[in-house]
Every structure is written in C-alpha cells, then in structure tokens.
Structure 1
Amino acid sequence: MKKIMLVDDEILTRESIRNCVDWKSNGFIYCGDAADGEMALPLIEEWSPQIVITDIKMPFMDGLELASIVRKAYPHIKIIILSGHDEFHYAQQALRIGVEDYCLKPVGSTDLIELLQKVSKQIDSEQLQKETAAYTKDKLLSDMCGGLINTSKAIEIAANYHISLIARYYAVISIDFCFHEELLDDNSYKLAAEQFISYFQSDVDVLSYRPSRSELVCLVKSNNEHVLQQCLAELPQQTKPMLQLLNCKALLGIGSIEQRLQSIHQSYLVADHEKNKQRLLQNSQLEANTFLQNATVQQPLIDRAKFINFVKIGTTEQLHEFSHAFCKDIEQLSWSNSMYGIYLFNELTLEAFHTAKQCFADIPNCSELVAQMQQRVREINSLEQCKSYLIDLLSLLWQWRSIGANQYSELILRVKQYITEHYHNKQLSLQEVSRHVGVSPSHLSKVFSQEAKQTLTEFITRTRIHKAMELLKTTNSKTFEIAYEVGYQDQHYFSNIFKKATGMTPIEFRKQGSAMTAETFYFAGGVKHAAAQKT
C-alpha cells in the first residue's frame, strides 16, 4: 500500500480529506499531515511517503517551494498540487517543477481516489521499469531458483529478453565442475558448461546461468513429463564421456519435476541438496581414505548397504540384535585415538537420512536433525555408545517410515487400481488420475514416486506393456490393434516404447515364444534386463 501525506494550512481541509476517504480499502495508508511546507519537510524524511498532496498558498513555505525541494531531495516521491486559484501561471510553475497533477479545490473523495490510483499505477510502472532494467538474464534465473520473484513479474521480465518461461513441467539441475590445478582457468569451466548443456535432448528447453566460475545451474522445461523424466535419468551417464575427455570431475544434483514456475525454487533446493550431499560424502570418503593410508593398522570397514537395507525393512524386534552384530566388525576401533570412526558414521548417517527422505514421508527439519545426529557421532567414545547411537538413529528414521506407510497406502492402492482398469484409455495421464483420486497432480506425482519407487508414468507404461506382452503371446491380433487396445494410437510410438522397455520389438517378442514373459519383465530397468537375458 502506498503512503499518503497531506500538507495544507486550512485545518478544515485537512480534516475533511483525512476523514472522508476510506484509505485502507482503496490501497493507501494516510500517514499524517502538516500545516505548511516548512513543517512538512522533517515529517517527509521521517515518514517516507510515496505521494504528497499539497496546497499552493501556505505561510512560511508554500506548496511550489515545497514541491521544488522534494523533487530534488526525493525524486521518487510523487506530488499532487491542490489549489483554490484557477490561474494558468500557477499550473505552469507546478508542471515546470515536475508535479504529477494539478487540481482545483474543492475536490471530492471519489475524484481524489481516482487521482491517487492513477498516480499509484504510475509509481508501480516506474518501479517495474527500474527493476526490469536492473535485471539480467542470469539474475532472473537466479531469483527464480532462489524463490525471490513472483510468476507474473518473472514472465514480464523474461519477455524483455525474448525468453519463453511457459511450460507444463520444470526441473533444475545444479552442477559443480572440478579441474586439476593446472587447468584452473575460466575457459576450462566455460567449455565444460557449454559441453554439458549440449548433451540435453532437442525436445527439452534449457535456460542456464553460472553462479560462480565452477558452477552451472540449468532450468530444464518441457511440455512432456515422460520426455523430461527420461532426459534427467539419462543425463549422468550421457555426460560421463565428456567429463572424462575434459579431465574433469563434477558434482551433479538433479531437482524434482515441478508444474509451476513458482515451484522452481523447490526443485532448485532438491538439486542443491543432492549436490551438497555428494560433496559431503566425497569429502568424508577422502578423509576416511587419508586415515586409512596413514594408519599403521588396517582400519575396519562397515557394511553400509546392509545398514541401509535394514533402514528400509528392519523391525523393532530385530533392532538390538542387528546393532550388536553390525558393530562386531568395529570392536577394535579406537574412538578416543582415531577420527576414522567419526568419518565412517558421519557418512553412514548422511546416507541413512537421504534414503529415508527418498523412500519414506517428508522429514520436517531434516537439516537440523542431521546436524544433531552428526554432533552425537562426534561425542561417541565407546562401542556401547556406538550401538546406542545406531538404535536411536534407526528408531528416528522408522518414525517417518511408519508415517509414510500408513499415510499413503490407501491412496496408492486406489491409483494402481484405477490405472489397471483404465490402461486402455489413451487420455490416461497424471492429470486424469489425480482428478479421479482428488489430489493435485504435483502431490500425487511426489507421493507415488516415493511409495511405489517408480513414477506414475512408468507404472502406466509398465501396465500397458504387460498387457501388450500378454496379447502378443495369447492372440493373433496385429501390432497396431494391440497398440490401440492398450492405449496407444500411434503404432510406431508403441513399438518404440515396447522396445525400450523390453529390448525387443513387438514382432521379435512374439517370435521368441515363451523365453520372456510378463512375470519376468522388470520395467524399471527394462532395457538392461532384456539385454542381460539375451547375453
């Protein structure tokens, strides 16, 4: 809301204007008034109004003198002149000074509000122009990732750079490049960034900026969720040869897929978290390796995979027995004389929290909890304290496992049942399913991925491919008929999807006989699984 100040030597005029307008409901704050220009100046400095309404004829300092001083000292303040003198030279002087408007007394409340709203729009327009002029493309993307700009403003500023931000799906990727010391020049980092961006598929749009010399942030957008998911999933493997060729290492964080511009910030936080987690794990591994190399006695190792698996499927009844057995391999570890155990369990804690966050319900205050548990690791000085720590860590993580399992099991069941019954519908999509179960598409996508360990689109495709495999084995229907029956109108698209999932075309699958069945089919790694069967 804009702040308004009134300057007039007539007390009745001040009271009339002050009391006849509903300032708040019209988007204004009446911050106060003064009887002449001289008394107004210190109040203007104190209150910082956006608009000053002033009479012309006043004692000590008239309105024109006040307007002249204010225009020079506070050029952003808009001035409206009120006058009982219908004389041209007054208006001429006012316009020369640069006031926004000049109107005659008496002025009604309706006319005054219309005038103020007109000036208010002018202030907004000038502010937007200043902000737009101050924005670069990099600052725009940075503020979007930082959640510092609203959607309408971002779109308006982007239009000035001829950038289209509109898409159905968005995701953020954050990457840090690391070269050897002899290659520490900006050209190396520029080349790595350019090469990395070139690996994106042509059917996704990429906007990027470099927060620092070694960092690159990419905003990837597409109107096809499946295409975007595939692009993000394949990117780490696709860019490996490039990084090896450049003799460069990288920390890569891939954010969540979001459906709103305002949610780009959330995707960025996920990407940044993943990247920082990699850095923490890498650093702690380097420290651990340093201790191993410098140790005179071989240090013990722990089975992290075993622990993470127990996080997922372990029970309270097995807790004490597991912690005792798990710690057996580190009985000889000296907690008081070596930092190795701290690095070992710090890494284990980070991976355990990451697993819980990915597989279970959202963990509130996750960063704070991780910091608390890491502090406890630093305080361990005996095997018994180590066992106690593991028990507490597992108990804490299982709270969210229990919440996640109970909270969404019914929803996931309804979703799977609906897809199983409607897989043949060519319009079946995340939006269609979300309407049926009564939750937002973004929430359903997140929950389904967490609980089902696959995206909803993958489950739809898996269901359709399973049915297609069954029809190929048990009927003489042509490929295009089967494609239509399982929800695909385009036979070529169906054949491509089928081959990508199974490693074979529909015709090759039918000819193979019973060597592969729907029961042995594993969609999440379909191509690799099929290739493994062939070899």
Structure 2
Amino acid sequence: MFTAIVVDDDYPVLQYLSQAVKWNQLHIELLGTYSNGLEALEAIRMCERLPDIVITDIGMPKMNGLELIAEYSSINPDFAAIIISCHDEFHYAQQALKLNVQDYILKESLEVEQLEQILKKITLRLCSKQDQLAEFQHYKQLGKMNQTAVRNKFLKDTLYQNSWSKHAWIEKAGINGINLQSKQYVTMILSVDRLNEMTRVHRLNDHTIIFAVENVLQEILSDKGNFVIFNYNSRDLVVLYLTDDPSVEQSYVYHIMQTCITNIKQYIKIHVSGFIGRTVSKPKEIQDALLPMLQELEHRFYSAESSVSTWSKQEFSKIDMYQEYAKYYSMISEHIAAKNQSGLVMTIRDWSNWVRSSHFHPDYVKEWVLQLLLDLHMKIKVTLHFQSEFSDEKLYLTISQIVTLSHLSEWFLDYLSRMAAKLSEITISSRSEVIKAQQYVIQHVSERITLEEMASYLNLNSSYFSRLFKRELNINFIEYVNRVKLQKAKELLLQSNKTVEEISDLLGYSNKSYFIKLFKRDVGTTPREFVSWDRSQRMMETV
C-alpha cells in the first residue's frame, strides 16, 4: 500500500478530499492532512513512513506548496506530487514542471473522479518503478549468490569428506571456477564480532551481514592475488592464502588481514576479527586445521576483538572460580542498592581482569555470571516482592551466544546497570502502597492505567492516593506512568524492529501523535530521531 498526504490552508478542501476520495480502494493510506507546507514537513520528519504522494495547494502561509515539494525532494526524491490550486496561481505551473510535479489541477474544476484517475496512474507508475528496482536488485544479487553457493558447497565438501587426493581436489575446484593450484595454503578465518548486536544496530539479518562483509573482503583482496574466500556460516568466512613459500609470507598475510579488518569497519561499520591458523599442503590437513577453528569457539574467548590473532588451542585453569563468588556477589549487590554506577564499573573491570589472568574455561565463566544474575533476581523477588521482567531462559540464551570475554564484561555491566535503573523506579518510597503502585505500573506497562483504577486496586480514595504518591516521589502518578512507558519505548526502539505505531499501541497509547508528543517532551527528540541518533552514536563507536 502506498502513502499520501494532503496539504491546503482551505479546511473544507482538506475535509472534502480526505472523506470523498476512496483511498483504500486505490491502495493508498492517507497519513494526514495539513494546513501549510511547514506543518506538513515537520510531520513528515516525525513520521515512521514517508509519503509516496504529496497533494498540495500552492499559496499557503509559512511555506507554500512549491517550497514544500522542493524541501521534500531532498528527503525522498522518488515521490509523486500533485498540485491543486486556484486559477490565479496558474502562473506557477512552469515552476511546478521544473519540480517534476505529475499533475496540476485547478480547484474550480476539481472532481474527485478526476483526482482518483490521476492517483491510479501514479500508483501504477510507482508499482512499475518498484518492480523494476526489485528485479534489478534480484538479478544483481543472483549472480553473486550463485557463485557464493558453489563456493560454500565446495568448502563443506572439503571439510567433511575424507577421500580427497590433492590432485582431485584441485581439479574439482577448477571445475567450480576456483583456482587452488598451490604448494601450500595459509588457513584463516574472518569472524563477525558480536553478531546479534550487529544485526540489531544495522537492522539487518545475520546472512545479510556476512554477505556484506564477504563483498567488501572480495573487493579488498581482488588486487592482492592468491586469496580465496569461502562463506562457512552466518558469522565466519574462511580465507585460504595460496603460497609456495609461507615463511616469507607470514608477516604479509598478517598485515593484509589487519587491513581488511580496518577497512570493513570503515566502509560498513561492522567489527570483525581475524584468526590465522596452520600452513598446510593437503585437503585433509586443511580439514584438520579449519574445523577446530570454526567449531571450538572457546579458544576465541580471550582473544581481542577487531584484531588479528594466531589461533591455537588454549589451556584453561582448573581453579574453583566460585571461591570468589561471595565477594563479587556482595560488592555488586551493594553497588546496585546504593545506585553506585562508578562502583559497578570498577567491580566489573576488576572481575574481568581476574577472569583473564586466571584463564578459566569460558563455559565456567558464563555459568558463573548466569548464577550470579539468577541469585540477584531471587533476592529482588524475595526482599521487594518484585518479579523481574528478565526471563531465565532468555538470560541463558544470551550469555551462551557471547564469544569473547570483552563482550561478556561489557554485557554484564550493561545488564547490571539496567537492573539498577529498574530497581530505582520502585525503591524510592518507603510506603508499601506507593511501592505496590510502582510494581504494578512496571509489570503492566502495556496497559492503559488511570489514577482511579490504581487507587481502586489499592483500595484507596483516588484523591488521597494522588496526594500520597506526589508527596512520596515528587511526581504525580500519571507522569510516573508515562515516564515508565517512555523508558520501555526507548528500549523497544533500540532492541526490536517494531515501528513507532506498533510501540505506541503496545504501550497502551491509542493516539500515536500524543505518544510522539510525550516522547519528544521527555527525550527531546522524536522516536525516529532518537533511533537515528543512537545508530549514529554506535556507528561512531565502531570507527
């Protein structure tokens, strides 16, 4: 379905067009009607979806229709514009043509059927344009994907078939368009760091992420010679460097890998790490070198991210990690209770250094972190009668997918900080009625909660409850509800793919415009601007 807006300072015209035109039958969603160009432009910038069609008058206060079209062209160059104007403004027609306005209709002769016919032609044209673009992208990617699929199958055959002779292996590669003629091969892996985080930040699935990394890598290595790239899965690429004298080439390979990592980060803002394995000469040796590198992720745990490492199997400590459990549990609990963020930072930094120097097995470290968080959840539930919103199953899944200690330490600190922030919302007051109200709001954040309903839930008079809540927290109840909802909105905007409209509905706001207005008042930006700002900040951190 396409989208449209109507802009005119003549209110009867706005009302007439919004009601008389059969928008749904034309497969067009009317996003809104506006009284001048400036109002429309501001609404467009706040809107989750950009209009495909702009129907506008010319002569309007603050910003006329031609100025609106010119401004909007810089935001969305592919929209269609229709001007509906008076006879005495027809001298603007020449200027309108320069702005690629599709049609110019005089108000004096305006018929709904005429406008609907124009809209039908525009939607057909837009459909055709979309189909052509989709077809072009499909064929453009199909060639690359077919080539990638052939390489992927050949790699899997190399890794999981044991009957290859070197001659047969090289011959089979040649049939598939892969030149592997060489005395020896330096085995390497390029792996996407923090894959789940990358998919969230870039709002792409993991297969698209690795495909983008592979494309950039192909570009970088295309003029370097002797590098062959394979896609192993949605996180790892295998790279073979063909050489006749590996002793001479080691420093060169290391330098090239580091250059690739730097350029990938610079071009597409994705962090990757490189691992250089053994130099081998036969298919079976390639298999023996690569499979542990790809499957035994515990040996990557202590490696630095966004860098090149020589891969080797690690020896892990046998010391009982739980000897220090009580100490760290006590320190972390105290910092959370005291809302001491700097104390949390120092404690997790100390913990990370201790883990790194002790060299515990990664599974042991993850189990330790999970146990500490589960114990903290239980303490919160027992002492504050507050059920944490964090699922044990989700915790386990998230922690188990973390590959490096650096990532685990950052995630651990972020999780504890968010936990402390959640608790601060319910531990300010000493009055049980207020604490129960805060707990209820946090646990029913998706519902529409009124002061009267809350007072009834607590068996209190609504006026008394309102005064009590304001006295205890120095904020009225409805403001508190909105604050909790907007905090949840920020989390959903950054951690899900939901639209602003979906989040507004999910949080119990029946009016999206009211939700956006509240968000801007509280945060200082619209939801869309907030997401863009956060994404730009994350992009800057990757540089």
TM over 0.5: no
Who wins on radius of gyration, i.e. which is larger? Answer: 1
Q: What TM-score do you get using the length of structure 1 for normalisation? A: 0.31
Q: Higher relative contact order at CA 8 Å, sep ≥6: structure 1 or structure 2?
A: 2
Q: What TM-score do you get using the length of structure 2 for normalisation? A: 0.31
